[in-house]
Amino acid sequence: EIVLTQSPATLSLSPGERATLSCRASQSVSSYLVWYQQKVGQAPRLLIYDAFDRATGIPARFSGSGSGTDFTLTISSLEAEDFAVYYCQQRRSWPLTFGGGTKVEIK
Amino acid sequence: EVQLVESGGGLAQPGGSLRLSCVASGFTFSRCAMSWVRQVPGRGLEWVSSISGSGSGIYYADSVKGRFAISRDNSKNTLYLQTDSLRAEDTAVYYCAKVLYYDILTGLFDYWGQGTLVTVSS
């Protein structure tokens, strides 16, 4: 099973700041890394797939990078609606696995 | 518009059973692999099971293998999860999720339902 480790667990930032979230895999997932956003009381929302492809309707301030074992989700300038929990997930092999999440909170 | 509506959650006793359903609309259901993902309230996401569009391909998480069974009825646009031998640690919100691509069984979910809560307690 591929273990995904997200860091930091919590990121305290102000609107307008840049957010950098990390996801590290215990073995290579190639580019098969997905990012989701989840707000309180809502289902997850697909943001980025296959490391850097933005899903339909996702603003350009969200970008993904990385390959192999190290991945980054960057939010270039935080807006109020971006404060949420972010999860990475690998689809390289079964079982599918998720990271533990990074909470982006308002400072 | 894609819609996924889960139902069937509720309170079950340890060792009991529940059958979860997810009714889909707004896309060609029979061509889409589907999955169940669960989340303990306040905790992270855990993949549970996936099934191909035809139903011929199925995967389970080790934590539910032998106790849960995923299935689908393409004539009814409905996905199911039969949960047997329930344990306290199965308590979670269960989401159904649709795969982004047609005709491929993979774990890339572009739409999720609102979830149905399963509580296992005596």
Q: B72: which 2 tokens?
A: 């689908």
What mean pLDDT is predicted for residues A52-60? 97
Whole-number pLDDT of residue B70: 98
**Residues in contact with B75: Cβ distance below 8 Å, sequence separation at least 6, in sequence order:** none
Chain B contacts of A34, Cβ < 8 Å? 107-109
Whole-number pLDDT of residue A61: 98
- In tens digits, chain B (122 residues) has pLDDT values of 999 999 999 999 999 999 999 999 999 999 999 999 999 999 999 999 999 999 999 999 999 999 999 999 999 999 999 999 999 999 999 999 999 998 889 999 999 999 999 999 99
Whole-number pLDDT of residue B55: 95
Separation of alpha carbons B85 and B87, rounded Å: 7
The Cα of B14 is separated from the nearest Cα of chain A by a number of Å equal to 25
Name the closest residue on chain B to residue A51, using Cα atoms. B108
Name the closest residue on chain A to residue B107, using Cα atoms. A91
Q: B49: which 2 tokens?
A: 């099971």
Whole-number pLDDT of residue B28: 97
What mean pLDDT is predicted for residues A78-96? 97
**Beta partners for B38?**
B46, B94
Banded model confidence at residue A73, pLDDT cuts 50, 70, 90: very high
Of A34, A43, A44, the CB nearest to B108: A34
Chain B contacts of A4, Cβ < 8 Å? none
For the stretch A51-57, contacts whose Cβ atoms lie closer than 8 Å and that sit 24 or more positions apart, written own/partner, are A55/B100, A55/B110, A56/B110
What mean pLDDT is predicted for residues A49-67? 97
**Beta partners for B3?**
B25
Residues A28-55 pLDDT 10s: 999 999 999 999 999 999 999 999 999 9
Whole-number pLDDT of residue A17: 97
Whole-number pLDDT of residue A62: 98
Distances (CA, A) of A27 to A3, A67, A86, B88: 8, 11, 21, 31
Find how far residue B114's CA is from the centre of its chain: 12
Q: A64: which 2 tokens?
A: 């993904």
Distances (CA, A) of B113 to A29, B83, B94: 27, 18, 9
Chain B contacts of A44, Cβ < 8 Å? 37, 45, 95, 109, 112
Banded model confidence at residue A66, pLDDT cuts 50, 70, 90: very high
10 Å CB burial of residue B44 (0-12, 13-18, 19+) is middle
Contact B95 A44 (CB under 8 A): yes
Pairing of strands B116-120, A10-13: unpaired
Give the torsion sign (CA, A93, B31, B47, A65). positive
Q: Go through chain B and tell me how many residues it has.
A: 122
Helix, strand and coil percent figures for chain B, each rounded to 5: 5, 50, 45
Chain A contacts of B96, Cβ < 8 Å? none
Whole-number pLDDT of residue A34: 98
Interface of B with A (CB under 8 A): 35, 37, 44-47, 50, 59, 61-62, 95, 100, 106-110, 112-115
